[in-house]
Structure 1
Amino acid sequence: MASKSLAAYKRAEKKVKDIKGFYRHLTIYLIVNAIIVIEGLEGINFLELNTSDIDPSFVEWLVWNVFSVPLLWGIVLLIHGLQVYSFHIPILKKWEAEQIRKMMEKEETKNNKPLI
């Protein structure tokens, strides 16, 4: 019975750590991308105001680059959130199970070696 409650505690502890990690990721995403977008748009605005013969397609390319980082990182953040909140991606679960199995085998081999 104690091993069942210990296992449940370990699962709950892992879940809490995963959620905490997601919130840390979200916080960093918001701070960093706010800086990227604000500074990027200010830089583009400065460039447009101070350069008379700037190519509009270059400005469009710059704008795309400013917004591509938050977009791509946002996709990764979405996947992280889905994984943390139980929308498990089968390939990730399979990988996780395989890694656990490998680590357990490695630990067993290490513990079963003779002390000579």
Structure 2
Amino acid sequence: MEAKPNNREQFERAKKRVDEIKGFYGHLTVYILVNIFFLVINLLTSPEHLWFFWPMLGWGIGVAMHGLRVFNYMPFFGKDWEERKLKEFLEEEERQKEKFKNEDHGKL
């Protein structure tokens, strides 16, 4: 499907978003399959010592963070946060320029 030139940027953003979501679900699928494998290996080789939950816990934290980022639930470092910070820095820079300009004109 060919996107119209004026919608190209919007199409690219949507495609990137779909790719990010697909990547997360791929990551989640591998996480589940590998951890089932670890569980089976653990129960077959040393059922008295359950170690499978350690890699499951560590990797699970990574999967959870990946999901939070992909679905924009990161309150501190999500896209909204980035946009707010960029806007804040740009506004601060403009204020500094105006302040400097006003100080220069006062000296003349």
Partner of 1:17: 19
Q: Cα deviations across residues 53-108 of structure 1 (Å, max 9, x unaligned)?
A: xxxxxx3xxx2x321101111111111111111213534655xxxxxxxxxxxxxx
TM-score under structure 2 length normalisation: 0.62
Q: Which ranges in structure 2 are unaligned for 5 or more consecutive residues?
A: 83-108
Count of aligned residue pairs for this structure pair? 79
Q: Cα RMSD (Å) of the superposition?
A: 2.4
Is the contact between residue 83 and residue 89 of structure 1 (CA under 8 Å) also seen in structure 2? no
| Matched-pair identity in % | 35
- The structure 2 residue matched to 1:44, chosen from 29, 43, 46, is 46
Partner of 2:5: 2
Deviation at 1:41, TM superposition (A): 1.8
TM-score under structure 1 length normalisation: 0.58
**Aligned counterparts, 1:60-99, within 5 A:** 63=50, 65-88=51-74, 90-91=76-77, 93=79, 94=82
SS in 2 for 1:90: coil
Q: Which ranges in structure 1 are unaligned for 5 or more consecutive residues?
A: 49-58, 95-116
Relative to its length, the structure with more helix (as a share) is 1
